[in-house]
Amino acid sequence: MKKYISFIAGLLCLVVFAACGRGYVPMPPAEETTSITMASTGAESESETTEPELETTMATTESAATQTSAAPATSTAPKAATAAAQRTVAATTIAKVSSTALTTPRTTTTTTTKAPVVPAVNPTNPPAPVYTQADYDAIVKAVRDYAEAKTKVRFIWKPELRHDVPPVGFHDVMNLTRSSGKEFVINELKYHADLTEHLVAGGNGGIPGDAVYYNVEYFDYQGDLMWVLVYG
């Protein structure tokens, strides 16, 4: 048992000796100690001097960085405000245009081509032909030649006879303006000469005679040219 204790004690001593051997630092000479101390002091001094300078430098760098970062922000702010104002103006303009387009009525211009006006023609009332004095004279001559060529009764021309001055007689009045034409009026007046001849010769219970005064008259009545054979 004592052996074990002695052995352990020896081991402990070896361990302590080894540890002391490792931690042993030989003491330098006095001069070296002084220089080391001065160097340490100088280093500490330089470190103390350098630290404020470093802090100042870092502060200056941070300030410059802050100014640099602030400067673009300051210069960018007006541009951003200008862009926002432009977008606002554009949106307002679009809104006004849209509102005007919605509230402004659309005007549709339609071009209408009018068809030429064609006067309506009534087939029963054709346009009235234009007659001249030569036509009037031709009608009168044709009826006179026919009446005065008769043999039963002599027709004597008397222009003073008129249909509106009695005592006279007549059979009918023809409208040259609305009739079928000049030849139609001539034929009707010739027929009236036949009726007058028959009446004057004693037909229809009349008193027989051998002569009769007559006239072929024309006059205006409400814009129409009227013809009539009168006798008396």
Bond into 167 cis (ω within 30): yes
Q: Is the pTM of this model over 0.75?
A: no
C-alpha–C-alpha distance, residues 231 and 213, integer Å:
5
Environment class of 155 (CB within 10 Å of its CB; exposed 0-12, middle 13-18, buried 19+): buried
**Phi, psi values for residue 219, rounded to 5°:** -155, 165
Phi and psi at 212, nearest 5°, equal: -155, 140
CB 194 within 8 A of CB 146: no
Token readout for 64 is: 């410059």
The amino acid sitting at 86 is: Q
- pLDDT tens for the chain, residues 1 to 232: 566 677 777 777 676 666 655 554 445 444 444 444 444 444 444 444 444 444 544 545 454 444 544 444 444 545 556 666 666 656 666 556 555 555 555 655 556 666 666 666 555 665 667 899 999 999 999 999 999 999 999 999 999 999 999 899 999 999 999 888 899 999 999 999 999 999 999 877 767 889 999 999 999 999 999 999 999 9
